[in-house]
Amino acid sequence: MNIIAVGLSHKTAPVEVRERLAVPESRLGEALHRLCGYQGIKEGVLLSTCNRVEVYAVVDDVDAGFARVQEFLADTHLSLSSEQLTPHLYWHTDGRAISHLFRVAASLDSMVVGEPQILGQLKDAFEASLTHKASGVVLNKLLQKTISAAKRVRTETKIAETAVSVSYAAVELAKKIFSNLNEKTVLLVGAGEMAKLAAKHLINNGVQRVMITTRNPQGAIELAQRFNGTSIPFDEFRRAMAEADIVLCSTGASHYLIRAVDVEEAVRRRMNRPIFLIDISVPRNIEPAVKDIDNAFLFDIDDLEMRVEQNREERRREAVKAEGMIEEEVAASLHWLKSLDVTPTIVALRKRAEDIKQAEIDKVMARLGHLSAQERSAIEGLASAIVNKLLHGPLVTLKAEANSSGSSMYVEAAKRFFGLDATQLPPAIPAEPTQVRGAGGGAAPATALKQSDPSGEPEPKRA
């Protein structure tokens, strides 16, 4: 039994390929059904987002599994041939596949590292597999582990904490000046895209009152409707600044619309309550001297971009920490996966029975005192006979089911019935979680080199 991951993402395929391969939610059930219809594919999960299409599957044989999944993907879209698809795909098995899944879930493989949507998308994909009975014991447990690993990364690192877009950086700065945005008022001067986006973020973060002014009165009225705010005549907006806690300025004007004296006046009328001004216009619309006014905080586009760059840096630092956590989690999952194999379970079961038998024999011998050799061997024989007869059924079943699609279910059941926890099982094969294999047989020297690639980046398949 092996776990494989096959797919493509924004890192390996252009949008033209991704959009054709993407499976809409309405067709997910049909696709999962088709996937599990292939011979040798025991369980499957299909993750389809705008940035990636990936299949995670439990298969009997890695190479056959890769071939089946590729067929499946090629069949997903009629206009896409296997040859067109192949150069964009990456292929992972076992440790590497789990590691890839964990990294995707933890948003380490995302276009914007740390973005939160992917985990939700993965949960949806998992739900769909559950609903359509495409996933079983192995993937169910693995997906649970994935979700908890991703949550651990989120809570123990700051990977998703900081703003990585200019418009969001404005919100982040506003939160360093105002603790509660609910009762704050935003004044939007001009209708630049970035300013509108920032206004939207501010509203999403609690701002309830929005005032809008544009040179064209009609534009302000339309925007006011969109943001559920009020429009203000353009030649009066400087007075409205006394009511505004946050001023977002982004117009096409080639001169300073807001001068230092305007801000001084506003701060005075605000009785020194702080005012936060964001100038996203180029050329700038707010006089730079505003920065010297007490209780007025002016940030221009460069300041916001600098903040974003620092945050990206911070996310990269946190990503390193996250990779370490993922490694730990992958090792634990591999250990668990290994325990699902039949052979170590049989060994553990025998050992457990032997231990119990020996302990009971020792106990009874100590209690009975002097016994003849014959009596001793009779007691030992009795114990062995009971143990062997009791174990006969389970052992035969386990061996018989070793290669069936339900093997992991039987193993899991045996472990629970006989109380064999993972710690009693032989340790999982360590240090080999990174294994990339071509679909067409054993590892070629080129792929062997890739195995030691420590970057953890998914590698496109070499055809």
Partner 1 sequence: MPATFFIATIVLYFAGTGFFLAYLLRRSEALSQVSLSVTAVGFLTHTLALLTRMLEAGQVTLASFHEAMSFFSWALVLVFLFVEIRHRIHVLGSFILPLALISLLSAAALPKEVPTLEPVLKTVWVHVTLSMLGTVGFAVAFVAGIMYLIQDGLLKSKRFNVLYSKLPPLDFLDRLNQQSIVMGFPLLTMGIITGAISAEFARGSYLSWNPEQLWALATWLFYFVVLMGRLTVGWRAKRAAYLTIIGFAGVVLTFIGVVLKAHGAVA
Residue positions annotated with a catalytic role: 50
Query: Token pair 């056959």 is at which residue?
Result: 64
What does the DSSP 8-state code read for residue 108? Answer: S
Q: With respect to partner 1, which residue has the nearer C-beta, 314 or 401?
A: 314
Longest dimension (CA), the chain: 113
Q: With respect to partner 1, which residue has the nearer C-beta, 123 or 312?
A: 312
Query: What's the sign of the alpha-carbon dihedral 74, 77, 79, 80?
Result: negative
Q: With respect to partner 1, which residue has the nearer C-beta, 244 or 349?
A: 244
CB 338 within 8 A of CB 425: yes
**Of all residues in the chain, what percent are helix, strand and coil, respectively (each to 5)?**
55, 10, 30
CB of 314: closest distance to partner 1 in angstroms?
A: 8
CB of 311: closest distance to partner 1 in angstroms?
A: 9
Query: CA 235 to CA 224: how far, in whole Å?
Result: 17
CB of 179: closest distance to partner 1 in angstroms?
A: 4
Distance of CA 257 to the CA centre of its chain: 44
CB of 265: closest distance to partner 1 in angstroms?
A: 14
Q: What is the CA radius of gyration of the chain?
A: 31
CB of 306: closest distance to partner 1 in angstroms?
A: 7
Q: List contacts with partner 1 (CB under 8 A).
A: 173, 175-180, 270-274, 291, 294-295, 297, 299, 303, 306-307, 310
Q: Which residues contact 195 (CB under 8 A, 6 or more apart)?
A: 188, 189, 248, 249, 250, 278, 280
CB 433 within 8 A of CB 102: no
Identity of the residue numbered 422: A
Reduce the DSSP state of residue 444 to 3 states and report it.
Answer: coil
Is the backbone peptide bond immediately before 454 cis, with ω within 30 degrees of 0? no
What does the DSSP 8-state code read for residue 47? Answer: E
Residue 99 burial (C-beta neighbours within 10 Å; 0-12, 13-18, 19+): buried
**137-156 helix and 301-339 helix, angle to the nearest 10 degrees:** 140
Residue 209 β-bridge partners: 185
CB 59 within 8 A of CB 35: no
Alpha helices per DSSP H over 369-406: 373-401
Count other C-beta atoms under 10 Å from residue 292's C-beta. 10
Q: With respect to partner 1, which residue has the nearer C-beta, 270 or 357?
A: 270
CB of 175: closest distance to partner 1 in angstroms?
A: 6
Alpha helices per DSSP H over 22-61: 28-37
Nearest to 187 by CA among 233, 235, 249: 249
